[in-house]
Structure 1
Amino acid sequence: MMAVLQNLLPFLLIFVIFYFLLIRPQQKRQRERNNMLSALQKGDQVITIGGIHGTITDLTESTVTLRVSATTQITFERSAISSVKSTKEETPAKS
């Protein structure tokens, strides 16, 4: 019994180390990303995974429409949003 436990102990330690160094931080990043995607609103300035900067003009459950210039709007999957630059509440008012 003791020999079996001594043989399994290194594997258990490796699993615990992998959990705290790899699995848990990845789950936290995924949870934060899902929260960011669900909190998107019209007027938010975002950056897509491809590096395109734009302002959200329309949202659906699965797509986001971005205004990238005065005359150009592009529709992306919601999952293509990489980060939010600023929200409409954070944009400074022009004097």
Structure 2
Amino acid sequence: MTHWLESWISAWAPGAVLLAQEGAEKAANGPAKPPIPFYVPLAGVAVLFYFMLIRPERRKRAEQDKLLENLALNDHIVTIGGVYGRVVSLDKESIVIRLEDDARARILRSAVARVISENRDEAK
């Protein structure tokens, strides 16, 4: 087991010594400043991250907030759990929906995934 370790150390030791000497020379000359081209790809990744992830998520969140704000009575909705219903009562944080078999369920406004149709003229 020590044979492979000794051969590995003997193969890499000269390179490590040269790197250590080069590092000592640079330290004697003062602190090394990272080159500006190093920051260009980093800035590019940050911009790409913003436009690919953060901005679309903000837009999606704004659309969802607008949908929840414009929710009205008799709107047919689908919840995030896949439950279909019709809005029969609205609260600040929750809504009551009527299910297909005339059962009612109270859900959070944030549980509304989308509005299927807006039947605001239909009053029951």
Is 1:36 aligned to residue 67 of structure 2? yes
Cα distance in structure 2, aligned partners of 1:4 and 1:57: 64
Cα distance in structure 1, aligned partners of 2:81 and 2:91: 20
Quote the residue 1:69 is aligned against: 100
Quote the residue 2:7 is aligned against: none
Listed one character per residue, the Cα deviations across residues 39-71 of structure 1 (whole Å, up to 9, x for unaligned) are 000000000011110000000000010000353
Find the residue that maps to 1:19 and give its secondary structure.
helix
Q: Which has the higher contact order (CA 8 A, sep 6+)?
A: 1
Find the residue that maps to 1:40 and give its secondary structure.
coil
Structure 1 alignment gaps of length 5 or more: none
Change (3 A) 1:73 1:10: same
Equivalent residue for 1:15, pick from 40, 46, 53: 46
Cα distance in structure 2, aligned partners of 1:78 and 1:69: 19
Structure 2 alignment gaps of length 5 or more: 1-32
The normalised TM-score by structure 1 is 0.87
Is 1:48 aligned to residue 79 of structure 2? yes
Give the C-alpha shift of residue 3 in structure 1.
Answer: 5.2
Counting matched residue pairs gives: 90
Structure 1 stretches of 4+ moved >3 Å: none
Find the residue that maps to 1:29 and give its secondary structure.
helix
Cα distance in structure 1, aligned partners of 2:48 and 2:100: 48
Aligned sequence identity (%): 28
Q: Rg larger in 1 or in 2? A: 2
Quote the residue 2:91 is aligned against: 60
The normalised TM-score by structure 2 is 0.67
